[in-house]
A and B are shown apart, each in its own frame.
Chain A
């Protein structure tokens, strides 16, 4: 009797420990929803007393479905991922390198054979809200249907109307290169069931109409969460550190919470609005890399009222502390003589030959504010990931003053030289110098 009870104790103990581990794994793997931080009462769209936070900007309310769809598609960023550089817009083929293999975006032009020309409204809604294609296969969450699930049927169908107004392009993207088990699409059904909201956007009754509009734009359309929130082991955004910083195509998508030091807490509303509208912002920098496309292809279509609504919403994101230092607000000395902390001289040599003519020795560009380094997050990031990436791959901006670009230096300089110049740049212009090695640069080179 005694032995039995001891055995039971052990069994119970194991069960208790097991369920404790299970619960903590579940806690860790299943973070709260994207809008959970806001708390308060959510109401159905019909029951919300304020103006409808969904749909297009006020100016376009009475426009036809194609025009409304163009606006919504722009803010949802469809074009960026569904376009391969140098190829027709929306015809797919853009590569997404993942830790598990490479995915290619599908063609979403209305071509009946290679695009989505034979999709019904119901097919399109099921893809947008549940991540299931017309043929019943489960889509990979590189397609942000966990965000688009919040979009109203009306808005999703306006996007469909816009896509169906485009010229059909016959183009089949390359096949995905995912090995077993990641090529088992049905597994994505489980992911979708766990991480996709089952309801469309529900306004928060105790928040302002502007906040609700911003929440809809940021969460249901622009899906900022996709890059700016770190992912857990199941590749789901960890909303416990919502907008605390993540990764986009090998670049760092920085902290956009209200943290004063690492995030946007010290930015004014106007600075955030101008950055999102496509400007460079003095002392803050300008979008580059993947964010350049987000700003120039998506957000520059947004009305100023919608930009302000996004800013109002971003202002409510709880601060997530990070390890990024506060950006150094002052320019470096004009003279190349005023030395920065002793760094590999090679970095200075590369800088004087390749960088100084556009960025200046002070970091305040004599050419354009878009090339000014002072205060930008990238040069104030001691990992120097984005500085090395922009040197390797360059960047392009489509500004109101025309196209402006930084060339790619990846083929002109060795990994060691790029590491040296990145370390020089962060030390000269940033709050804290980086210690990048040739190996780190090689990894960034491969990773894209």
Chain B
């Protein structure tokens, strides 16, 4: 059994230690908000937070996690930055097909936590690893700035 801390709750899962976190989240814990995209950490759809940092869960073996805090799209709205990002996303109707958007929101929330008022260069650096096949990049950029502006 492997002990994990997911969205503030202790979970024990009976899986091989080399199973990627994404599989555990989706298939074992049924947290299906996090998406499978490419499987090789190149599209960003599977982004979750580990101790507040955005990581690609498809390439992260659960055995290596230990007691680090895992946050997924299901609970990111309970953090101040996550809530602001989700609100801006709705206000500006960022989403088109939606598949990549959990990953986009996770990366954006992590960005606002480290850089409260990001400019275009900060947004490029933080968001370039999240690919959107619908091309919603312009609205994503605008929504991040909107969410930052809401920050008092």
Contacts and interface: CB of A to CB of B under 8 A. Distances in A.
Interface of A: 334-337, 349, 352-354, 356-358, 361, 366-368, 401-405, 407, 412
B31 interface: no
B125 A401 contact: no
Contact of B61 (A354, A357, A401): A401
Contacts, number: 67
B55 A367 contact: yes
A402 B44 contact: no
Interface in B115-140: 115, 121-122, 124-126, 128-129
B129 to A, nearest CB: 4
A357 B55 contact: yes
A420 to B, nearest CB: 15
Given A358-B41, A402-B63, A407-B40, A337 B122 contact: yes
Contact of A353 (B61, B115, B128): B128
Interface in B1-60: 16-19, 40-42, 44, 47, 50, 53-56, 59-60
Nearest to B52: A366
Contacts of B121: 336-337
A264 B53 CA distance: 34
Nearest to A353: B128
A242 B59 CA distance: 39
Contact of B59 (A334, A352, A356, A358): A358
B50 A404 contact: no
B64 A401 contact: yes
Given A366-B53, A402-B16, A407-B40, A356 B60 contact: no
Contact of A357 (B17, B18, B19, B54): B54
Contacts of A349: 124, 128
A401 B16 CA distance: 9
A404 B63 CA distance: 12
Nearest to A407: B40
Contacts of B50: 366
A352 B124 contact: yes
B43 to A, nearest CB: 10
30 contacts: A334-B114, A335-B115, A336-B121, A337-B121, A337-B125, A352-B124, A353-B128, A354-B42, A356-B129, A357-B47, A357-B54, A357-B56, A357-B129, A358-B41, A358-B56, A358-B59, A361-B125, A366-B50, A366-B55, A367-B64, A368-B61, A401-B17, A401-B61, A402-B17, A402-B18, A402-B19, A402-B63, A404-B61, A405-B59, A407-B40
A353 B41 CA distance: 10
Contacts of B42: 354, 407, 412
